[in-house]
Structure 1
Amino acid sequence: MAVPNARGARVELSGWGWKHAGRAAHALRGVDLVVEPGERVLLLGASGAGKSTLLHALAGLTGPDSAIGGDQEGMLRVDGEPASRGRGGVGLVAQDPEAQLVMARAGDDVAFGLENLGVARGEIWPRVERALAEVGFPYGLRHSTGALSGGEKQRLVIAGALAMRPRLLLLDEPTANLDPVGAALVRDLLARLLVESEATLVLVEHRVADVMDLVDRVVVVEPGGGVIADGAPAKVFAEHGRSLAEQGVWVPGEEPAPNPSPAPGGAPVLAAEGVIARTPFQLGVRAAPARTVLEDVDLTVSAGTVTALTGPNGAGKSTLLTLLAGLSKPHRGRVVPCGPLAEVDRRPLARWPARRLARHVGTVFQHAEDQFVTAEVRDELRFAPLRAGLGEAEIESRVGELMERLRLTHLAHVHPYTLSGGEKRRLSVATALSSGPAHAPDVLALDEPTFGQDTRTWAELVELLADLRTQGRAITMATHDRLLLRNLTDVRVRVADGRAVPVAAGRADEEDV
């Protein structure tokens, strides 16, 4: 539905397609779509369907002499011009906020886009300060961007996009890394700003129910193809809801309902004792001073149990997770092995040799690319079992099963860095599981393991993790995923205000997420 006299941009695609460099298949092909000024479109599709690719194209990042290489066909116009000519009027919040940060200080990062647009200097900083306040950014203008959590980086990137006051706003899962309070804040802000600015919105979001009030149209694309459904949300879900759910789309009321086997429980394998963590020391006269993130944390992780770390952005969930995984050393206190793990090495985990640590503790980082070490998806999955000494037949069987279950088979020979955000997350989790149940690490430390997944791959990940729990592995994860907490959590620990406090069984308050 077009908005009369709207100030938003008009988008038009005809027979449009895109094939990433080095790929045999198209990400999208034959896309015919018109978005009128002021419309608010929710773009849906299974994980890997090309949603992020389409947003990048609308932002002018694909095509000749653009940032993303590949082959383009058909026509794509924003206000009648190629998208690359209208970048100043487009605001993009991509799936990976870290990739969009360009400056060392928060205020400078938000000001960067405004300076490139030639906004008057006297107007820049009031707009920067307002944007940061509106997204609930908790620090000052000089705060280091390198010292931010994933959710805080996401808020900063959203502030940068909104400060530009774009005519076309492209959002790729803008609240995926935010705590519930922050996500609600951003949704309310978007609703208000879209009314005020009349900007055109194209939004990608897996958790559809949370954004239904923001959009007036739903467009569904299929992998390697074009638009397969288009219309008002109620109409699209009424006519196509069942088939979309079968394809993995998060249709309201059609959430997956896994039935994992009960947790066997077991003896403690890790213990944090009086742990204090501080932000890293930074050089420079304007560097932010070190601050305490965690103080006097005592926490036990047990075998056969899933322990979930929840709490607001910036509270220290990822910090605690890396400490429990032995990847960083606390400022004070220690993380020590217990039970069978102590028989391997009684020293604090931070002092274990890297090879020994990798054998017994598997890690999935918040930024998936940080853990990729090979040039192909198949080789990435073969890496851990080869180091564990598994035979070739066993390796191929396990790798083949994981690729099939997590829908990575068609990407076997693709470079991991070129995957979509959801595909990277699946691969990063799969690498931690690739040695198989008999050789899997004793402890798994997972940071947002279900980020960016459609319902099918979400359910597969839950089942794979539940199987490892049944095998007696200890799983610790930092997450904002309420459905994951409901289906695969035995112990919930709320991280906030420097503390890590167990949450009473049965509590499901959103503030605990």
Structure 2
Amino acid sequence: MGAEQATPAAVEARGWGWRHASRLAWALRDVSFRIEPGERVLVLGASGAGKSTLLHGLAGVLGGEEEGESGGRLLVDGAAATATRGRAGLVLQDPDSQVILARVGDDVAFGCENLGIPRAEIWPRVTAALEAVGLDVPLDHPTKALSGGQKQRLALAGLLAMRPGLLLLDEPTANLDPHGVAEVRDAVSRLLDTHPATLVVVEHRLDVWLPLMTRVIVIGEGGVVADGPPHEVLGAQGQRLADDGVWVPGHPPAFPPPPGTAPREVLLSARGLAVARVKGRAVATGIDLDVHAGEAVAVTGPNGAGKSTLGLTLAGLLPPAGGAVVAAPELADGADPAPIRWSSRDLLTRVGMVFQEPEHQLLATTVRDELAVGPRALGLPEDEIAARTDELLSRLRLDRLAAANPYTLSGGEKRRLTVAAAIATRPRVLVLDEPTFGQDARTWAELVALLAALRDEGSAVVAITHDLDVARALHATRFDLGGLP
């Protein structure tokens, strides 16, 4: 491609579909549409509808026959998408999987170098891209020291620097704070103004993107179920789409009822706590926090404030960089009061953790076996394991996926699976990092209702989230790091 300016790409699907090699059911099937060069398209659909698979197909990264089976045709500029990979740039749901190099500047420059862009042009592009997405760190800043939200900005910066003809964004703002969401959207808008491209965005929470979009395509069973200008699709068909789980403005999901009793005894306390991912590099200090039985706590704040690191430290998975995390006698139940000293088996019934990136805690080869890992480690009888597993499969809409490989699930399905796996051992404290990531309106409501039920049964729920509706729905106590309003 060199230094020449890319032109917007044309995209066409002709009865296209994809089935993962380990799955009997197709991820999506019979999808047909044409996107003209320069169009800005928002792709909607329920969790598991195949939206991410479509973007992977357009980017040409689904793999060959050993990875799965395709049907129909998927074209970019009239050629098979697999033959036009340089035309498309993709930001994945999980930005951690896109970090390649150890330093921020090198990582952003990587794509440009692969495209053969002259070195003298690469670094001005890198600097401009980092500024556009609001990632204000030195070029030699270690990528391993970035938060999940910062890694999302890093991935987007790498895409913007390449200036492809087709921009494919898979929930690009899912783990960003509200300021970061607007910043990323505006960065994409500015790029399109100066370097026109075709834009395809997959997103559940769509309000922020609608002003940029010229078209909405809704994917459902049987292919495309709605296609047209945003006001027509979301207006005339809004109620039907909302009933199917699509997020539609003006059709909010139901909130669970408020708790019937006040929070009870303290289960976990932090005093003068400092937290760090990299030794000697504390990201937050002076934290004092009590977590009560029967309470939901929402940990909020901007990207990079240390929210995820705090969650891992409370859960006994990272040592405090200063101060202490102490379990109450009721929670410790005879063990050392410091969770960091507990064994993994001790943690199972005391503190459960749901990571921001679901792939980091998948262990089994089927969804059903994934849910059985914890209960089996506790030595529970097989009939009890089966009962717990069946209940969670049903409650979190994973029953039809019981025999599937967890890695073939959608992002939203993986999130529900990791929540279910953490709940399966019935810990007294549950720490969840972005628990509603990737959920459609229906599964969002069901997941929040499940967390509310755990709270009402006497568990403590700590939700690290940028989704302030989660805090409101759970009537959570807000604990803010970094001054988020």
In structure 2, distance between residues paired with 1:417 and 1:28: 16
In structure 1, distance between residues paired with 2:405 and 2:195: 40
Match of 2:374 among 355, 380, 384: 384
Letter in 1 for 2:227: D
Could you list the runs of 5+ residues in structure 1 that have no partner in the other structure?
Answer: 1-5, 282-289, 498-510
Q: Deviations over 1:224-247 (max 9, x none)?
A: x31111001111112221111111
CA contact (8 A) 1:308 1:489 kept: no
Structure 1 residue 133 corresponds to structure 2 residue 131: yes
In structure 1, distance between residues paired with 2:327 and 2:282: 24
Q: Deviations over 1:437-475 (max 9, x none)?
A: xxx111101100110001111111111111111111111
Equivalent positions of 1:37-52 (< 5 A) are 37-52=37-52
CA contact (8 A) 1:63 1:71 kept: no
CA contact (8 A) 1:263 1:305 kept: no
Match of 1:235 among 227, 232, 237: 232
Structure 1 residue 347 corresponds to structure 2 residue 311: no
Give the equivalent residue in structure 2 for 1:60: 60
Match of 1:254 among 247, 251, 255: 251
Equivalent positions of 1:240-389 (< 5 A) are 240-262=237-259, 264=261, 265-281=263-279, 290-389=280-379
Structure 1 residue 93 corresponds to structure 2 residue 79: no
In structure 1, distance between residues paired with 2:350 and 2:472: 27
Give the equivalent residue in structure 2 for 1:181: 179
Equivalent positions of 1:109-508 (< 5 A) are 109-223=107-221, 225-262=222-259, 264=261, 265-281=263-279, 290-435=280-425, 440-496=426-482
CA contact (8 A) 1:63 1:72 kept: no
In structure 2, distance between residues paired with 1:134 and 1:263: 46
Post-superposition offset of 1:115: 0.3
CA contact (8 A) 1:263 1:304 kept: no
Aligned-residue RMSD, C-alpha: 1.6
CA contact (8 A) 2:332 2:350 kept: no
Post-superposition offset of 1:385: 2.5
TM-score between the two structures when normalised by the length of structure 1: 0.90
In structure 1, distance between residues paired with 2:195 and 2:120: 21
Letter in 2 for 1:450: T
CA contact (8 A) 1:18 1:28 kept: yes
Please state whether the residue corresponding to 1:296 is helix, strand or coil. Answer: strand
CA contact (8 A) 1:11 1:35 kept: yes
CA contact (8 A) 1:218 1:231 kept: yes
CA contact (8 A) 1:261 1:470 kept: no
Letter in 1 for 2:393: M
Post-superposition offset of 1:263: 5.4
The percentage of aligned residue pairs carrying the same residue is 55
CA contact (8 A) 2:256 2:448 kept: no
Post-superposition offset of 1:94: 0.8
CA contact (8 A) 2:259 2:475 kept: no
Post-superposition offset of 1:489: 3.6
CA contact (8 A) 1:336 1:346 kept: no
Could you list the runs of 5+ residues in structure 2 that have no partner in the other structure?
Answer: 1-5
In structure 1, distance between residues paired with 2:385 and 2:345: 19
Post-superposition offset of 1:410: 1.5
Please state whether the residue corresponding to 1:496 is helix, strand or coil. Answer: coil
